[in-house]
Amino acid sequence: MTTSRWAVLLCKFKGDDSEPLPRARYEELFTGPGLGRWNMPDFFCAVSHGQLELAMDVHGWMELAQKQSEYVGSGANPQGRLDLITWAREAAAGAGIDLSPYANLVVVTNAPSDLFGGGSGVVCYDDGRNLAMSGLAPGLLGQEIGHGFGLAHSRLDGTTDDYTDPFDVMSTARARMADNPFWTTRTVRGDAVYPIGPGLNAGNMTIAGWVDQSRVRRITSGHAVDTVVELRPLHRHDLPGFLMIDYRGLLVEFRHNSDWDAGIGAPAVLVHRIEDGITYLVKDQNGQTAGVPGSTWGPQISSITVESIDAANLSARVRLKSINFVPDIPEFEPSLADLMEQQPHEISVAAALARVGEELRFSSPTELGM
Ligand SMILES: [Zn+2]
């Protein structure tokens, strides 16, 4: 297990002494007292197969030297965004808080500021007025903290538009979030203020290095195959069995409409591919993304088919089939995970991803006439 230590800085703008939520709420969202209550360490434990411990410490409140009106950051003004993180760092230093032990930080402001995340930090706010979805919604924070771990927005295959994978937290602007079982506040219009999920897709888990490789059914050779794999829900590391299939670079996962994925509507088998560090949700032969029994990806020569889904028993059966269409391929073709696992110091992530790209091109449905 890897531990990533993050600081949470509760910051008041100069001249605004309001504390929108009781301090216990912030502790619950980011630290031990909230474990088991859909908090952020819970989320990252689930989407990392238990391999990432997100250890967060809440500091503050502390007062920024700047007023809210001085904040000018936005997507179009990234420097303004970085300035706010700098202001928070300065306030922390002034309060005697040593930020050197932390890998990254979350700045929570007491009045409207912004919502973004990256390697320099995450910024969010909740003014306690409950007029719209809060920046403290675990669904939104899952994405912003995900950016802090280097993840990009996810996409639907065939488009370069971000936020187009409804089954991935890195698309939460348009993803299927669920009501929060503990933070049940609603806006006057009835919308959830603190929705959760969905989880991370198999592609982003792979990019982050959070997939338990011992639970992956991997087929990378070009030899003939006809096998049925039983999959468990992607994030249910507690259940025995396979959690993901890597079929020549196409990542197959089963998602169940419960827990972080309670908002996805119905159980579904999904297929993703990775290109240049971005995940793409692949449509089946009928143009659908949520695989149900009978759904097939790829032509007959090499295909993925959902045979059955047993929602009650949390499993799905997926058939992988191909004829021996690549006679001269070596017996063992390393996958991205193999490359990263076996030669961590010799092969960069970029090189590994490029390698997977080659595999995808090699067996891409387009080349096979799909
Ligand atoms: Zn984002």
Rounded to the nearest angstrom, the distance between the alpha carbon of 2 and the centre of ligand 1 is: 24
Q: Is residue 280 part of a domain?
A: yes
Rounded to the nearest angstrom, the distance between the alpha carbon of 110 and the centre of ligand 1 is: 21
Q: Is residue 79 part of a domain?
A: yes
Residues 146, 216, single domain; the answer is no
Rounded to the nearest angstrom, the distance between the alpha carbon of 19 and the centre of ligand 1 is: 26
CA 64/CA 108 separation, integer angstroms: 12
Rounded to the nearest angstrom, the distance between the alpha carbon of 229 and the centre of ligand 1 is: 34
Residues 145, 221, single domain; the answer is no
254-288 pLDDT per residue, tens:
999 999 999 999 999 999 999 999 999 999 999 99
Q: Is residue 158 part of a domain?
A: no
Q: Which of 100, 127, 150 is the last residue of a domain?
A: 150
Residues 57, 137, single domain; the answer is yes
Rounded to the nearest angstrom, the distance between the alpha carbon of 204 and the centre of ligand 1 is: 13
Rounded to the nearest angstrom, the distance between the alpha carbon of 153 and the centre of ligand 1 is: 6
Domain that holds residue 301: 212-362
Rounded to the nearest angstrom, the distance between the alpha carbon of 323 and the centre of ligand 1 is: 41
Least confident of 80-94, 227-241, 338-352: 338-352
Rounded to the nearest angstrom, the distance between the alpha carbon of 117 and the centre of ligand 1 is: 7
127-143 pLDDT per residue, tens:
999 999 999 999 999 99
Backbone angles phi, psi at 328, to 5 degrees: -100, 10
Rounded to the nearest angstrom, the distance between the alpha carbon of 77 and the centre of ligand 1 is: 15
Rounded to the nearest angstrom, the distance between the alpha carbon of 285 and the centre of ligand 1 is: 30
320-354 pLDDT per residue, tens:
998 765 544 444 555 555 544 443 333 344 444 44
**pLDDT score for 234:** 98
Go through the chain and tell me how many residues it has.
Answer: 370
> Whole-model pTM?
0.87
216-229 pLDDT per residue, tens:
999 987 788 999 99
Rounded to the nearest angstrom, the distance between the alpha carbon of 158 and the centre of ligand 1 is: 20
What is the tally of structural domains in the chain? 2
Q: Is residue 7 part of a domain?
A: yes
**pLDDT score for 302:** 84
